[in-house]
Structure 1
């Protein structure tokens, strides 16, 4: 169940490749090492998208979130493809 949550949150829709399996494993391992639970990660993802969407139109089909962890720190990496910059009149 937790793997499915992480797949929906952070991985794109491609399935079956060795690279995807490796990404999933790294994500699960990183999550185990971090103190962030699944609901906190989901809230964080939603808030990031909300803030960024105020300024740019995102390609929601290609969004990618991942977590990288080494012995010293954990990093949330967001790949947010931008379709266009919103006009300044729209930004408030």
Structure 2
């Protein structure tokens, strides 16, 4: 028998976890002073360097800050993640 109350209870936990993760990302941005303009500047600078080696799909580039475990497996630290689709090598 399906426990409907348990089903909704788990949904609340999932929503709670999503909200918690979003808050952590906001705090990482605030703590590190990462504004959208800083991320856009990083994006432009990365593209300038990559342009020497390859042609990329500039419309589908995604640059963002995430949290990841440190290399020693300890606390979570901010990380820059760039998804840059490559059209061809030069």
TM category (shorter chain) comes to: 0.5 to 0.7
Q: Which has the larger radius of gyration?
A: 2
* Inter-CA distance 27–56: structure 2 relative to 1 (3 Å threshold): farther
2:32 matched residue in structure 1 = 34
Higher helix share: 2
1:40-55, aligned counterparts within 5 Å? 40-55=38-53
What is the total number of aligned residue pairs between the two structures? Answer: 64
The answer to which structure, 1 or 2, has the higher relative contact order (CA under 8 A, 6+ apart) is 1
- Cα deviations across residues 15-48 of structure 1 (Å, max 9, x unaligned)? xxxxxxx8xx475443123233333222211100
Q: Can you give the 5+ residue segments of structure 2 that lack an aligned partner in the other structure?
A: 1-18, 69-74
Task: Kindly report the root-mean-square deviation, in angstroms, between the aligned alpha carbons of the 2 structures.
Answer: 2.6
List runs of 5+ in structure 1 lacking aligned partners: 1-21, 87-92
DSSP-derived class of the 2:47 partner: helix
Give the TM-score taking structure 1 as reference length: 0.54
Residue of structure 2 in register with 1:67 after alignment: 65
